[in-house]
Amino acid sequence: MRRKLAAGNWKMNGTTAALAELDALQGAATGGAEVLICPPATLIAAATTKAGAIAVGGQDCHPDASGAHTGDISATMLKDAGATYVIVGHSERRADHGEPDTLIAAKTHAAWQAGLTAIVCVGETLEQRDSGKTLDVIGTQLAASLPDTVTGANTVIAYEPVWAIGTGKVPTTDQIADVHAFMRATLVHHFGADTANAIRLLYGGSVKASNATEIFAVGDVDGALVGGASLKATDFAPIVDALNAS
Ligand code: PEP
């Protein structure tokens, strides 16, 4: 396994009191793997003052640096607040806000312009998996969501089957292995081996302490993007520990 990353997506959860979880994560965060928490935007600046060994990221950004976009946040603003990463193309954004791949490519580019590392999410729905379209969907999303100047430093890819997010359902390790090997091969095809091998590939979808070790043993899995189990340090620290031990 290359550079390991355990990323927590708090989604629309947490007020100031939740930042105490960062203190409780510090021990796990010094074990080798990089640890990232993406809290709600309201908490980013405060989180960076307590983050210690933990990186802080945003959950989304607008493709423009500034302008008349009420309620939106730009990558520049996230960077200014202390973020170093931003998630783009999460399936909840794709579904709730109808975000197409072209917009995700623009957001990825905006993240890079601001000096943030983009975590680009891809993943199939259950209907797409059941109809045998998983690899087609992932290949299309990867090709359309990634600008040509992608590097291992500016981008992380998260494979998140939509049907596994927040459901407790997890693909088999063979299914995860198939998709991750396909993603690596697709990246090699589009961007060459050096770039492709430097890009970290995360698995996301109902990762818990009880399944983390077997998921991190899968080839081409460089870490995880974790939702529900990242909210409490008592749940997230064992996942980070499993990644450190992998
Ligand atoms: C996510 O939202 O990115 C996610 C993986 O959620 P969960 O871990 O709760 O399935």
pLDDT tens readout for residues 161-218: 999 998 989 999 999 999 999 999 999 999 999 999 999 999 999 999 999 999 999 9
Structure-token pair, residue 239: 């996942």
pLDDT at 2: 64
Beta bridge partners of 65: none
- Give the E-state strand segments of 125-199 in sequence order: 155-159
Structure-derived torsion over alpha carbons of residues 60, 237, 200, 104, reported in degrees to the nearest 10: -10
Q: What is the CATH number of domain 5-245?
A: 3.20.20.70
Ligand 1, atom 1, lies closest to the CA of 227
Cα dist from 156 to 67, 122, 146, 235, whole Å: 27, 11, 11, 23
pLDDT band at 43 (very low <50, low <70, confident <90, very high): very high
- Whole-model pTM: value is 0.96
CA distance 55 to 58: 11
CA distance 215 to 204: 10
Q: Domain limits of the chain?
A: 5-245
CA distance 57 to 55: 7
Gap between the terminal Cα atoms of the chain: 8
Q: How far is the CA of 67 from the centre of ligand 1 (A)?
A: 31
- One-letter amino acid for residue 148 of the chain: D
Active site residue 160: yes
Ligand 1, atom 3, lies closest to the CA of 227
Q: How far is the CA of 93 from the centre of ligand 1 (A)?
A: 13
Contact 101, 145 (CB under 8 A): yes
Using a 6 Å cutoff on CB, does residue 6 contact ligand 1? no
Using a 6 Å cutoff on CB, does residue 160 contact ligand 1? yes
Nearest alpha carbon to residue 206 among 123, 84, 105: 123
> Which percentage of the chain shows pLDDT scores above 90?
95
If DSSP codes are grouped into helix, strand and coil, which group holds residue 191?
helix
Q: Is the pLDDT of residue 50 over 80?
A: yes
- One-letter amino acid for residue 175 of the chain: Q
Q: Is the pLDDT of residue 1 over 50?
A: no
Nearest alpha carbon to residue 146 among 205, 190, 94: 190
pLDDT digits (tens, 9 = 90+) for 12-34: 999 999 999 999 999 999 999 99
Atom of ligand 1 nearest to the CA of 167: 10
211: left (phi over 0), alpha (psi -120 to 50) or beta: alpha
Q: How far is the CA of 58 from the centre of ligand 1 (A)?
A: 15
